[in-house]
Structure 1
Amino acid sequence: MTSPAAPARLAEAETSVRYRAKRDLILDAAARVINQRGLRGLTFVSVAEAVEMNTTSITYYFKRKELLAAAALERSIQHLTRKIDTAGQEPDPERRVARLLRLALDQNAEERLGTCPPLARLSDMRSLDEPLRSELFASYMTAFRKVVDFFDAPAGAAARELNWARTHVLLDTIHWSRVWLQKYSVGDYDRVHTRMMELFRHGYAPSGSRWSPLPLTVPASDTETEEVNRETYLRAATVTINERGYRGASVERIAGALNVSKGSFYHHLDGKDGLVVDCFERSYDRISRTQRNAMALEGSWLDRLASAIAALTDVQFEAGFPLLRITALMALPRDLRQPILERSDRISQRFAGMMIDGISEGSIRPVDPLITAHCLISSLNSAFDFRVWADHRADRATAVRLYSSALANGMIDR
């Protein structure tokens, strides 16, 4: 005889399945919006239109937009953690790194082919307010520490710290690959995996070569002054956007960093979008001038490349006037975004050109120069987030050398 409670339990189970299915559809739509427009573009209206619901129905699942954003980002961290757990079962560091990279490339391929829903990019976590921001970062750091354990190393604090640097570069390189992989066919991903693993395994510096950067200064500005002007706003905005993301870097917060009024901001600048574009232009000017100054130095092409990388990494660690993280680009309107992406490509191509010259000379290991350049750009961008780690080193030059070694010398101890 059927229990009287059985139909009620069945109905409850069916309701739960429908609830989870609709919630997943909402998170899929939110992830697409975040990836295309950043958290700035995430609204209940944009998500409701994508899932053919009204905004009131969306609030049944997520009371506030911030909770929807946090849930989409948390789902991405959960997927990353599962990939890390799977890769962590491999028997040695090289195969763990290779498996994690393969899983990430497979995920990207499936998203592009439309065979799986998208995952929200994690770069916008910094834009959320507390306590959501700290909660998500705590989840991410749990996953991060698991990747640190990928690397077998001799016992001791120094080895552990080096593996933290390797993990940071590895994960940020994988995160950023989602952007530049759009230039490749999904059918080429096997080759991309092979070339990235060559870089992760051996680095771009030949075995036995020395990291010998020559003194090089990254241009800061054309006009140094103590007065609050457009240049000082660019400095304050760059730091604030790097720390808080586009959405979290409000006009009030940027003005507050300089102890001036919101009105002063609009006296010097037209608006926030224009400010971000100006910050990118300033950052790219500084990178381009540093690259050209490095190319004019004496020495091997490895030494010239090391000089540019060391100088730019040092600026990120010093953090007084860092380079703007390229992840802020995704919050800009598409018409403003494209010219900046094109200039970013030219910077990558210049690094690739330096590598080709070094490969011809014999001072740089034969690597895929463009893929390596993309990885270098990623590591330079994300170095700002690793500045606290750098502050704990005996000196800045040591921190720069250790951090840069992940791509220069490879991540796998032999």
Structure 2
Amino acid sequence: MVTGTLPDMGDAAEAENGTETGTRRFREKREAILAAAAAAINEQSAKGMTFADVARRVGLNTTSVTYYFKRKEDLAAAAFEHTLDYLLSMLEDAHGQPTPDARVQRYLSLNMARLARIERGEERPFAVLSDLRATEEPVRSRLMARWREVFRRTRALWGEGLNKAATDLAGARAHVLLENTFWLPVWLPRYEPDQYPRVETRLFDIFARGIAVPGAQWHPEPVDLPHDDAVPGREAFLLAATRLINELGYRGASVQRIASELNVTKGSFYHHLDAKDELVISCYKRSFDTIADAQRLADTRGGSQWDRLAAMIATLLDVQFSEQGPLLRTTALSGLPAGARQAMVERSNRIARRFAGTMSDGIAEGTVRPVDTLIAAQALMAFLNAAFDMRKWAWSMPRDRALALYGSTLLYGMFDDRMVER
């Protein structure tokens, strides 16, 4: 590894020549830098990434990296563009299939194959897109336009020229599909690589046929969640922080922005919390407690396991679609120290296992379709996580319809047309 601060003049010449001729060596080194940047972004967020860290990962000195990317923001943008291009390429491939179910299955298969190559060391992960909204203009507008194209192309897996009802449903399905493929790297490593084809088959079975038994009706009775604001103002503070972190990512939601959202001074932040990490952990705790409360109260009220599961889902989707209080997205995990991040993932896994338990009991009583409950629970966690980004979509229709349409994506499957007819 080069540890000095002077530039490698070979890199300078290579960059100059590469601009004109696209030499293989220039492209390979640029791709290595992008891969290193993606790894740094995934571990520390885009704003936490540094040239020094990226240079260390590829064995260059810091100044040499600037011959490929002049600013850190340029490097982060290029890493995000690489991810978006990759997603669009997979979607283009999937669109070659003749039917919606075949297209979705192909898209899932391409993602699983990519993750298998990563596990074998044949490919490096691409940069997660959690910090996309936190990038600066004019880069942000360009990247968000590309992201909207990814969403449109995903929605089009269910067909082009759909009526409004079908478009609304396809939009919900597209969002759940994308979020599930983004969530795969978190839980897939728990399986041996030779089990990946089995995981793919069982996950697609959930996408295709849902969790509900044939004929199961969607008439959920949401539970009343407790409201706890033992420290006056703390709940409002955590809600404002949750919304901003969801929208801008961990680094984008600065203490100053959170304080401004509440029209309080920056010093008020430190009245409630000692540090930014403590803020995020508190937001996660509030969100996980909300989910756990919904699970516990639905179980306490009783009824069939299907009734309980429907109540849990309807309650939590209503929270996500409300203007007052969303749950914190998993995208904030990248900003936390490793120990705190692992603790949050473990709490998430405990919640997922409770969903799995409800489904297992439902399978035994015949109210839930036989599925792999561990995989279905992870799909359900991604489904709930993604709902925050569908708030404006949900606000465009009656709340009951939004809950039914969005809930149907996993409960009844992604190809059940009955929901369009409602």
TM-score by length of 1: 0.93
Report the 3-state secondary structure (helix = DSSP H, G, I; strand = E; otherwise coil) of the residue aligned with 1:114.
Answer: coil
Query: Partner residue of 1:281?
Result: 285
In structure 2, which of residues 159, 162, 165 is the aligned counterpart of residue 158 of structure 1?
165
Q: CA deviation at 1:177?
A: 1.1
Work out the CA distance in 2 between the residues paired with 1:378 and 1:127.
22
Aligned: 1:353 with 2:357: yes
Q: Show the 5 A alignment for 1:3-402.
A: 16-152=23-159, 155-223=162-230, 225=232, 229-393=233-397, 395-402=398-405
What amino acid is the match of 2:400?
Answer: A
Q: Structure 1 stretch 132-141 or stretch 325-334: which is displaced more? A: 132-141
Matched pairs, number? 402
Q: CA deviation at 1:123?
A: 2.1
Contact 2:18 2:27 in 1 (8 A): no
Contact 2:18 2:26 in 1 (8 A): no
Work out the CA distance in 1 between the residues paired with 2:315 and 2:231.
20
Report the 3-state secondary structure (helix = DSSP H, G, I; strand = E; otherwise coil) of the residue aligned with 1:123.
Answer: coil
In structure 2, which of residues 408, 415, 420 is the aligned counterpart of residue 412 of structure 1?
415
What amino acid is the match of 1:325?
Answer: R
Work out the CA distance in 2 between the residues paired with 1:185 and 1:129.
40
Work out the CA distance in 2 between the residues paired with 1:289 and 1:69.
39
- The 3 A distance-change label for structure 1 pair 280 and 223 is same
Report the 3-state secondary structure (helix = DSSP H, G, I; strand = E; otherwise coil) of the residue aligned with 2:131.
Answer: helix
TM-score by length of 2: 0.91
What amino acid is the match of 1:406?
Answer: T
Contact 1:220 1:321 in 2 (8 A): no
Per-residue Cα deviation, 1:338-368 (whole angstroms, up to 9, x for no partner): 1111111000000000000100010000011
Work out the CA distance in 1 between the residues paired with 2:39 and 2:255.
26
Work out the CA distance in 1 between the residues paired with 2:402 and 2:18.
60
Work out the CA distance in 2 between the residues paired with 1:146 and 1:338.
34
Work out the CA distance in 2 between the residues paired with 1:12 and 1:174.
35
Q: Structure 1 stretch 344-353 or stretch 231-240: which is displaced more? A: 231-240
Report the 3-state secondary structure (helix = DSSP H, G, I; strand = E; otherwise coil) of the residue aligned with 1:382.
Answer: helix
Q: CA deviation at 1:413?
A: 3.5
Contact 1:220 1:286 in 2 (8 A): no
Contact 1:230 1:269 in 2 (8 A): no
Q: CA deviation at 1:11?
A: 9.3
Report the 3-state secondary structure (helix = DSSP H, G, I; strand = E; otherwise coil) of the residue aligned with 1:214.
Answer: coil
Contact 2:82 2:126 in 1 (8 A): yes
Work out the CA distance in 1 between the residues paired with 2:171 and 2:22.
45
Work out the CA distance in 2 between the residues paired with 1:90 and 1:149.
12
Unaligned runs of 5+ in 2: 1-16, 418-422
What amino acid is the match of 1:396?
Answer: R
Per-residue Cα deviation, 1:22-41 (whole angstroms, up to 9, x for no partner): 21111010011112222243
Work out the CA distance in 1 between the residues paired with 2:241 and 2:19.
51
- The 3 A distance-change label for structure 1 pair 376 and 366 is same
- The 3 A distance-change label for structure 1 pair 145 and 322 is same
What amino acid is the match of 2:402?
Answer: A
Contact 2:234 2:272 in 1 (8 A): yes
Q: Structure 1 stretch 283-292 or stretch 347-356: which is displaced more? A: 283-292
Q: CA deviation at 1:14?
A: 6.2
Report the 3-state secondary structure (helix = DSSP H, G, I; strand = E; otherwise coil) of the residue aligned with 1:120.
Answer: coil
Work out the CA distance in 2 between the residues paired with 1:376 and 1:124.
23
Kindly, what percent of the aligned residue pairs are identical?
A: 49
Q: CA deviation at 1:385?
A: 0.6
Contact 1:153 1:413 in 2 (8 A): no
Work out the CA distance in 2 between the residues paired with 1:95 and 1:277.
40
Contact 2:321 2:387 in 1 (8 A): yes
Query: Partner residue of 2:6?
Result: none
Work out the CA distance in 2 between the residues paired with 1:350 and 1:153.
38
Work out the CA distance in 2 between the residues paired with 1:284 and 1:218.
13
Report the 3-state secondary structure (helix = DSSP H, G, I; strand = E; otherwise coil) of the residue aligned with 2:187.
Answer: helix
Q: CA deviation at 1:111?
A: 1.1
